[in-house]
Amino acid sequence: MADENDKPLALLIPGLDGTGKLYYRQMSRLSKAYRAQPWEFYPRGFFELSDLIEEIAGITEAEKPGSILMVAESFGGLIGLQFALNYPERLRRLVLINTFPYYRRQARIRLACLLAGLLNKRAVRVFKDSIVNRTLASEGILPQDRAQYLDIIKGVYLPAYCRRLQLIRDVDLRSRLKEIRVPTWIFASGRDKLVPSMTEARLMAAAIPDSRLYEFPRAGHALLLTPGFDLAGYLSHDFQ
């Protein structure tokens, strides 16, 4: 058996939660072929997208050139795209899951930015959790995974969460997609209620020169928690 350190790094970039813990359902299978590392961002209240990129750059600089598999979901896709632009020589492949280069629903995200600070009030959190639970249930997420999801997001550092919403509002990478030279796989769900994932995925696939699109018409935004979805299965030949 190969030494664990000989495996290529699979760096798993989180969405709005910022914890990386929502990759838990995929870890066992991914760890057979990779050093699977869910990334948790440093808990700080203000940062730019460039700060998050450099945070990741610092922990990947010792990796073999062209060896890293970067998986990025939702908000994390902005980080994955920008990292591929800044450090293409480090990546073997970029995988984007239910994400976007620009969040077009500006009225919605501006409202979310305004209301996010109220999540420090218990009644608001309970109301939000009830909506999230119903949404996940409608996407076919199992009860135990819905419970674990809600448990994970309880620990999210609120100032950083609010700042990530602001970055979603402000960042626009559409004009730079054609510059990405890293092989890119794009996964999109048809029942995503948070992101128009199918639309965004098709636009990204058309703009990124070396890209491949996978569509899941019956899945929702939480594709990583969807029963039967096996990320490692799609990646099984990636480093062979």
Structure tokens at 204: 């990204």
Number of structural domains in the chain: 1
How much is the pLDDT for 1? 45
Cα distance between residue 100 and residue 78, in whole Å? 7
User: What element of type H or E holds 83?
Assistant: helix 76-86
Say if 170 falls within a structural domain. yes
State the pLDDT confidence band at 240, using cuts at 50, 70 and 90.
very low
Handedness of CA 55, 59, 62, 64 (dihedral sign): negative
Extended strands (E) in the chain? 9-13, 35-38, 68-73, 91-97, 184-189, 211-216
Average pLDDT over residues 123-135: 93
Say if 126 falls within a structural domain. yes
Angle at 15 between CA 239 and CA 67, to 5 degrees: 20
How much is the pLDDT for 236? 82
| Sequence letter at residue 148 | Q
Say if 240 falls within a structural domain. no
Average pLDDT, the chain: 94
Cα distance between residue 86 and residue 70, in whole Å? 13
Residue 2, pLDDT > 80, answer no
In angstroms, how far is CA 170 from the centroid of its own chain?
Answer: 17
| Sequence letter at residue 155 | G
How much is the pLDDT for 237? 64
Residue 165, pLDDT > 50, answer yes
How much is the pLDDT for 6? 84
Cα distance between residue 138 and residue 176, in whole Å? 35
The CATH number that applies at residue 11 is 3.40.50.1820
pTM given for the model: 0.94
Cα distance between residue 99 and residue 177, in whole Å? 13
pLDDT digits (tens, 9 = 90+) for 57-112: 999 999 999 999 999 999 999 999 999 999 999 999 999 999 999 999 999 999 99
Say if 200 falls within a structural domain. yes
pLDDT digits (tens, 9 = 90+) for 16-35: 999 999 999 999 999 999 99
How much is the pLDDT for 60? 96
What does the DSSP assignment read for 183-236?
A: -EEEEEETT-SSS-HHHHHHHHHHHSSSEEEEEETT--S-GGGSTT--HHHHHT
Say if 82 falls within a structural domain. yes
Beta-carbon contacts of residue 204 (< 8 Å; ≥ 6 apart) = 96, 100, 101, 177, 184, 186, 211
Which residues span the domain enclosing 138?
4-235
Average pLDDT over residues 164-173: 97
Say if 80 falls within a structural domain. yes
Residue 159, pLDDT > 70, answer yes
Average pLDDT over residues 153-164: 93
Residue 3, pLDDT > 90, answer no
Say if 98 falls within a structural domain. yes
pLDDT digits (tens, 9 = 90+) for 33-57: 999 999 999 999 999 999 999 999 9
